[in-house]
Amino acid sequence: MINKYSNVPMYSQLKNLIIKKIESGEYQGESKIPSEQEFCEHYDISRPTVRQAISELTNNGYLYKEKGKGTFVAKSKSKVDIKNFTGFTDSILDSQNPGQHDILSLRIIKQNEMPFLESAFGLQNSQQTTFAEVKFVTADKNSVLSLNFSYIPLALFPEIIDDIKANKPSYDILRGKYPLLPVKTKSSLEIVYTDQSEAQYLQVQTGHPLIKIENLLYSKSGQAVEFIIAKYRADKCQLVFENSK
């Protein structure tokens, strides 16, 4: 119960009670929790106290709201196991069937449209390199997990867009291009927040936290062949690290 004489704020006590009910299985994933009024009556606390607790649990990914329906327990997060995350995970070139990705768009862009490509591929401002941009999402049965962008130099793979549209397998796309097979990757990770253009695809509100992973893939000769930006929903994905000495 709520201890009104405790040094711990009442909203924090309620938060902990709700978390315990979620972890014990009393409040199961996708189930509706009691209403604000029900919490108020059951624990004899004020509505602002309940609202603050619910708001913080929603922001932390424990709960989510559906307009006109109520507040629900979030489904447990999908695990992205870092020990198996090689940097090739969201690659177009390294996937068996690139065309089977849930592709949102395919287009040709110039390097000056995306300035970060210059540093990623070590280009000069005077060069006018063009890239294929492949925009796609990954999802589980219930929701979108990540929004992904793959950038591939057309100088190396001039038919890549047509090949993906034709649903060619990777062994056909890479046939005769053995020196360009991706074998090495350099990765970086940071926390970012959803902007307006991404929110619709990730099915979240603007400002929602994301786990951004960038991967630059290299061939055997050291040639950069693909740059990937993957933005995972922080409320749906859990990164698991495992190391040994």
pLDDT tens figures, 40-85: 999 999 999 999 999 989 877 788 888 888 999 987 655 554 444 5
The alpha-helical segments, DSSP class H, found in 71-223 are 116-121, 160-165, 170-173, 196-202
Residues 157 and 184 in one domain: yes
Residues 111 and 161 in one domain: yes
- Is the distance from CB of 218 to CB of 87 less than 8 angstroms? no
What pLDDT shows up at residue 126?
A: 58
Domain range for 47: 10-73
Measured CA to CA, the distance from residue 63 to residue 58 in angstroms comes to 4
How many domains does the chain contain in total?
A: 2
Measured CA to CA, the distance from residue 162 to residue 156 in angstroms comes to 14
Q: Give me the phi and psi of 3, to 5 degrees please.
A: -95, 105
Confidence of residue 128 (pLDDT cuts 50, 70, 90): confident
Identify the burial level of 82 via C-beta atoms within 10 angstroms of its C-beta, where 0-12 means exposed, 13-18 middle and 19 or more buried.
Answer: middle
The fraction of the chain above a pLDDT of 70, given in percent, is 90
Residues 40 and 88 in one domain: no
Residues 113 and 164 in one domain: yes
Measured CA to CA, the distance from residue 196 to residue 85 in angstroms comes to 28
Neighbouring CB atoms inside 10 A of 189's CB total 14
What pLDDT shows up at residue 105?
A: 94
What pLDDT shows up at residue 94?
A: 86
CA 185, 187, 192: angle at the middle one, nearest 5? 150
Q: Which domain-ending residue is among 73, 103, 118?
A: 73
Residue 51's CATH number = 1.10.10.10
β-strands 224-233, 209-219 pairing: antiparallel
Average pLDDT of the segment spanning 127-146? 85
Picking from 4-18, 122-136, 145-159, 162-176, which range would have the lowest pLDDT averaged per residue?
Answer: 122-136
Measured CA to CA, the distance from residue 182 to residue 87 in angstroms comes to 11
What pLDDT shows up at residue 79?
A: 52
Measured CA to CA, the distance from residue 131 to residue 109 in angstroms comes to 5
Picking from 79-93, 128-142, 199-213, which range would have the lowest pLDDT averaged per residue?
Answer: 79-93
Task: Name the average pLDDT for the chain.
Answer: 86
Residues 53 and 170 in one domain: no
The answer on pLDDT for 130 being more than 60 is: yes
What pLDDT shows up at residue 98?
A: 84
Amino acid at 187: S
pLDDT digits (tens, 9 = 90+) for 152-187: 999 999 999 999 999 998 888 888 888 898 899 898
H/E element, 226? strand 224-233
What pLDDT shows up at residue 83?
A: 46
Query: Looking at per-residue confidence, does 123 or 117 come out higher?
Result: 117
Does the predicted TM-score (pTM) go above 0.75? no
Measured CA to CA, the distance from residue 138 to residue 146 in angstroms comes to 5
Residues 136 and 229 in one domain: yes
Residues 144 and 194 in one domain: yes
What pLDDT shows up at residue 158?
A: 94
